[in-house]
Structure 1
């Protein structure tokens, strides 16, 4: 199965977070860790970003992640 890798710009766009907020949340263990793509670039698995978004929606709605995924 091929997974899509999002670059930082795309992650910022789809999450609404700025670069510093993304890295702060990564350091705090609250956001998916990036993948090293080369010596100077990183990316995030789209599937992990989608799961993170679902968890935020579940938090907002007061539902479990399993209920939000359904």
Structure 2
């Protein structure tokens, strides 16, 4: 029987859009608008029609927002 490995909080992996939406609370259009303004981590090209985001960059972006709240 194989077990699914448990990921550590800062273990790097590629997140797909659905996971980025869940983590950030934003939908696709807003994520892409923020990326265009360079206010959100840039997507990585995975293939002709596939992109993903670095999980560590997304976690750092979220941490910055939490630490900068008033």
Per the normalisation by structure 2, the TM-score is 0.81
Note the aligned Cα RMSD (angstroms).
1.2
Q: State the match for 2:33 in structure 1.
A: 24
* Secondary structure class of the residue paired with 1:60: coil
Kindly report which structure 2 residues correspond to 1:1-70, keeping only aligned pairs within 5 A, or say none.
3-61=12-70
Structure 2 segments unaligned to the other structure (5+ residues): 1-10
Could you say which structure has the higher helix fraction?
A: 1
Q: Highest relative contact order (Cα 8 Å, sep 6+), 1 or 2?
A: 2
Deviation at 1:27, TM superposition (A): 0.4
Per the normalisation by structure 1, the TM-score is 0.81
- Aligned residue-pair number: 60
* Secondary structure class of the residue paired with 2:21: helix
Q: Which stretches of structure 1, 4 residues or more, deviate above 4 A after TM superposition?
A: none
